[in-house]
Amino acid sequence: MLWKENKEIVKRLNAIENLPTELQKQNKKLSSYCDLRIQFNELIVKAISEDTDIYATEIDRIGTEINKILDELEEYKK
């Protein structure tokens, strides 16, 4: 899954010596974003394979968290 690869990239970036604090904070959010995307995708696949909507609430909750992190990451662009 590409999100796991992305998380590894962020982890390697954090290993850069003397990385500014601002970038460390941004990378922490990116790592959380990757974790949430992994959870989100796994739940969607599970819901489809089980042909159920039992995970809909959890999928929505994770989607809300994803959007919150995206909003926070947008602040770094300003």
| Span 27-78, pLDDT tens digits | 999 999 999 999 999 999 999 999 999 999 999 999 999 999 999 999 888 7
Alpha helices in the chain (DSSP H): 2-14, 21-50, 56-77
**Is the CB of residue 46 less than 8 Å from the CB of residue 25?**
no
Q: How many residues does the chain have?
A: 78
**Statement: residue 1 has pLDDT above 80:** no
For residue 10, give both structure tokens. Answer: 């962020």
Find the farthest-apart pair of alpha carbons in the chain and give their distance in angstroms, rounded. 49
pTM (two decimals): 0.90
Domain ranges of the chain: 21-77
pLDDT tens digits for range 11-31: 999 999 999 999 999 999 999
